[in-house]
Amino acid sequence: MEGQSGQPEEYDGASLPMKEWLVEYYVERTQKETLHCITVLRGRNAEEVQTRLYSELRENFPMEFKLEVTVTRMIPIDIDTDEALFELQGIYQP
């Protein structure tokens, strides 16, 4: 699609709102057990979240030469969370 200047319009990712994303993944390390991990990362889109996941992996596994990572779920978290899900016997449990 072309803009008014005749140049192709590029999608501006910075205009998207920052969201929290649930990321579930498995990490296979050389001669070690496979780890099942779940984390919440912030990003405007899936590419930004993937970049943050790479940073988290480098931070959590600094001495690993090779990691096999399989992402099984990467979904944005809804803004409206049902707070009743965190309530046990009338007491808020985060």
Give the whole-angstrom CA distance, residue 40 versus residue 24.
9
Q: Per 3-state DSSP, what percentage of the chain is helix, strand, and coil (rounded to 5)?
A: 25, 40, 40
pLDDT tens-digit readout, 6-40: 444 445 556 888 899 999 999 998 888 999 999 99
Q: pLDDT value at position 92? A: 57
What is the average pLDDT score of the chain? 80
Q: Whole domain around residue 43: which residue ranges?
A: 29-77
**Domain assignment of residue 35, yes or no:** yes
Q: Report yes or no on whether pTM surpasses 0.85.
A: no
**Domain assignment of residue 56, yes or no:** yes
Q: How many domains does the chain have?
A: 1
pLDDT tens-digit readout, 39-87: 999 999 999 999 999 999 999 999 888 889 999 999 998 766 566 666 6
**Domain assignment of residue 43, yes or no:** yes
Q: pLDDT value at position 41? A: 94
**Domain assignment of residue 41, yes or no:** yes
Give the whole-angstrom CA distance, residue 94 versus residue 91.
10
